[in-house]
Amino acid sequence: MFYFVLFLFIPVLEVIVFVKAGQYIGILNTLMLTVLTAIMGMALLRAQGFQTIQRAQQKLARNEAPLSEMFDGLCLFAAGLLLLTPGFVTDTVGFLLFLPPIRALLKHNIKQLPGVFFQQSNFSSEEMFRMKREEDEKHQKPRPNNRPNIIEGEYTDITEKDD
């Protein structure tokens, strides 16, 4: 339901802002400003994208996982999509995603999500592992405790005999 409301609300908001901007600065200036923000966004995306790729390659060369760079790349991708979408609201959000402090804040908040989920649901990782172990034990075939593990099979001796 939230996404449906968001899906309807954003275009309506974009139209309202676009019309108001057209009233204040004129329709031609509004259209030129929309194209200019797309061009500026692509230039920023290219520059920051290359920097992010270089940092990721450096981490990979040091055998480190480039998790932060992957998140930055995802944010930059979203920023690029938002800037290509005509409208001032999406452009504003897109430009905000280019700012490293905003991305750091998003990253921090996203890291907190699993902890918040587990706290709200009274569910712990220890409980999750216990449930997984019980589920695995349920599906195992019971075997008597006094029998050793026996593997049955056939074999052929392929060693050469020295006579």
Q: Return the pLDDT at 110.
A: 81
Question: What token pair was written down for 149?
Answer: 């593990």
Q: Could you tell me if residue 153 is inside a domain? A: no
Same structural domain for residues 79 and 114?
no
Same structural domain for residues 71 and 129?
no
Same structural domain for residues 58 and 114?
no
Q: Examine the fold and report which residue of 71, 98, 125 is the final residue of a domain before the chain moves on.
A: 98
Res 125 pLDDT > 60: no
For 84-97, what is each residue's pLDDT tens digit?
888 899 999 999 99
Secondary structure (3-state) at 91: helix
Res 123 pLDDT > 70: no
Q: What is the pTM of this model?
A: 0.62
Whole-angstrom Cα Rg for the chain: 29
Name the pLDDT band for 121 (thresholds 50, 70, 90).
Answer: low
Res 163 pLDDT > 60: no
Q: How many structural domains is the chain composed of?
A: 2
Same structural domain for residues 93 and 108?
no
- Amino acid type, 39: I
Same structural domain for residues 40 and 92?
yes
Q: Could you tell me if residue 86 is inside a domain? A: yes
Same structural domain for residues 103 and 89?
no
For 27-40, what is each residue's pLDDT tens digit?
999 999 988 988 88
Q: Could you tell me if residue 52 is inside a domain? A: yes
Q: What is the mean pLDDT of the chain?
A: 81
Name the pLDDT band for 6 (thresholds 50, 70, 90).
Answer: confident
- Range of the structural domain that residue 9 is part of: 1-98
How far apart, in whole angstroms, are the C-alpha atoms of residue 43 and residue 48?
Answer: 9
Burial class (CB in 10 A: 0-12, 13-18, 19+), 115: exposed
Res 24 pLDDT > 70: yes
